[in-house]
Structures are given as structure tokens and as C-alpha cells.
Amino acid sequence: MDTLTGLLPPLLLLCAQQPRGARAMNDIGDYVGSNLEISWLPNLDGLMEGYARNFRPGIGGPPVNVALAIEVASIDHISEANMEYTMTVFLHQSWRDSRLAYNHTNETLGLDSRFVDKLWLPDTFIVNAKSAWFHDVTVENKLIRLQPDGVILYSIRITSTVACDMDLAKYPMDEQECMLLLESYGYSSEDVVYYWSENQERIHGLNELHLAQFTITSHRFTAELRNFKSAGQFPRLSLHFRLRRNRGVYIIQSYMPSVLLVAMSWVSFWISQAAVPARVSLGITTVLTMTTLMVSARSSLPRASAIKALDVYFWICYVFVFAALVEYAFAHFNADYRKKQKAKVKVKEQKAEVRLSLLAPPCPGAAASPDPVT
């Protein structure tokens, strides 16, 4: 028993030290600042010595080539009323900074997101963004990878509400084209040149998206230089994607109810003309219901003066429904007018017969006395 008691403290000490050693062999961060060395790990302190993050790589020389790539995580909301959409993307940027080259190894170094504050970064911004924010749960969603030749891969996760000018003339049979515009805020084309990455032939994650109201039919990439008279030319990259509206919900919510309302308004034609309350109540009900349907369909659209295809369709239906009510009013008035005219004619005929009976002379021999009997 005494022997086991004497061995227990060394065993506990060995068990407590073993996990730390195993974790240290897999975590590069444990080596930084320690006396241990990794043969391929670059000397970060030596790389950052004299590094000026406020100046771009190769300042005074040719512009920095920045490759961009986008991966779409989600498109959460598309609003016709506000002319905007909300998108979450992974924005990947890559450029070469020769000041950070460590050519003694071929290993790529993954750095902590906090290391971003020590590097020069392109001042990329979303031109048509109304609002945007970074994700920071559970840590800042940023990625930095440093290659031996000084190439830096910088990836961030952004959610942005972006403006999208929509042409609603054919609504809801319309197709829209929305854009995501990326541009350098402060560096002109003499300092920074943007281009789409060679691997950016398609938008990763776009085919997996399932939107409630739209279907993404196509997309394309463009690059251009925007000329500002006071500041020069600035590089801009554009992502265009076309959205086709899903029409099934509008057939169920707008088209079918309006067709049934028009058909129901025609039912009054088979109701007796004498049933005034039934026909009038049916006509007024269909007109009010059609008005409510028109207002509810326009509630999700911007208050613009432009005429939409749905407006034309609803107004045609409204004319049919209202015409059914007006037709009964006209038919009832016409029938009542004819009835009164017939009554007047009948009265006149009766009066004429009375006059004729009073003015007509008596028939000869009708009033003579009979001959005496002889």
C-alpha cells in the first residue's frame, strides 16, 4: 500500500503534463515566443521588422495586382419596395507583398485573424452597399494565409444590404439584373489594379441557393476603370446576376382569385331581374373584393407612378366586375322604364275607349218603340 502511495504523485504529474505536450505538437501558436523551434516556421519578427503597413507594396513602382473571388453564402431578402437585396458573401483577395517573402521553405503559413491589423490591405469597398457588417462569432471571420513568395490570401465574411435598381414594368412576369460593385476607395489605377481570379469562372455557392421569389438564371463578371475628374481613374469589378421571378405564387394569390371574382360577377346575369337585393349585393361585393385584392397586391411594391403589368390586368378585371354591376342598373332602369311606358299606353288606351263609347251615336232603330199589334 505504501508503495502505491509513493507512485501516485509521479503518475499524476505525468498525466497532467502529457496533454500539454500533445497539444503543443499540433499548435503552432504554442511555439511562437517559446524556446522551441520549427525548421520551416519563418521568423515573423524578422519579417515585420521595418514593415510599414501604411504604404502599399512596391510604392513608387508598378501597381499592385489584386485578384478577387467571391463565394455566395446566402441571399436572404430581396425587396421591391426598397429596391435592395441582402447578401452574405465570402470575399477572397490575393496580392503579392515581397516584403513578407520567406523563400527558405515551401510551406504556407496560416496566421491568426488578429495579424490582419499589422498588414497592408487593399481598401476594397462595396460601391452600391446601403449597409454592411463583418461577422465576429465566435471570432472575427477573417483568414490570412502567407505563402513563401510573399503572396497573401485575405478572406472575410461580409453581410451587406445592396441597392438594386429594378424595372417593374412587367411585374410579376419580370426579370431583374442586380449588381455587386467592388472598387478601391482611395487607391487609383496607378497604385492598385483589380481583376477577377482565374478560378472565378462561376460563383461558388450560387447554384445551391433556393430563393423564395426568384430563380437565378445567369451571372457574369466585368472589370472597368471609373474616371473621376478630381481623383483620376479607379478600378472597379462588377458581378451581375439575373433574377427571374417565380410566378406560381402570383397565379395562386392574384390571378386565380381575380378570375373567380369576374366569373362570380357574371352569375348575376342568371338571377331574376326582379331580385334587386340579391343582384345589387352580389355586384357590390365583387367590386369591393376586387378593390381589396388590388390594394393587397400593391402593398409590397414601391409607390411609383409607373404602370405595371399586374396593374393593367387588375384594371381589366375591375372593369368587367364593375360593368356587371352597371349592366344590372341599366337593365333594371330599362325594364322599369318599359313597364311604366306600357302602363301609360294602357291607361291611354282605356281612356280612348271610354271617350269613344261616350261620343259614339246610337244605332238606328235601337231605341224605336215596337209596332202596335193589329
- The DSSP secondary structure of 79-148, one letter per residue, reads ETTTTEEEEEEEEEEEEE-GGG--TT----EEE-GGGGGGS----EEETTEEEEEE--SSS--EEEEE-T
The pLDDT, as a whole number, for residue 356 is 76
Q: Which element (helix H / strand E) includes 329? A: helix 309-359
At residue 183, does pLDDT exceed 90?
yes
pTM, 2 dp: 0.73
Percent of the chain with pLDDT over 90: 39
Determine the Cα–Cα distance for residues 105 and 297; give it in Å rounded to an integer.
Answer: 64
The better pLDDT of the pair 29, 275 is held by 275
Topology alike, domains 51-245 and 249-346: no
User: Which CATH architecture describes the domain 249-346?
Assistant: Up-down Bundle (1.20)
Percent of the chain with pLDDT over 70: 84
Instruction: State the average pLDDT over residues 92-117.
Output: 85
The pLDDT, as a whole number, for residue 175 is 94
pLDDT band at 77 (very low <50, low <70, confident <90, very high): confident
- β-pairing, 109-111 vs 84-96, is unpaired
The pLDDT, as a whole number, for residue 363 is 61
The pLDDT, as a whole number, for residue 24 is 38
At residue 18, does pLDDT exceed 60?
no
**Domain locations in the chain as residue ranges:** 51-245, 249-346
Report the range of poorest mean pLDDT among 160-164, 181-185, 308-312: 308-312
Is 2.70.170.10 the CATH number for 51-245? yes
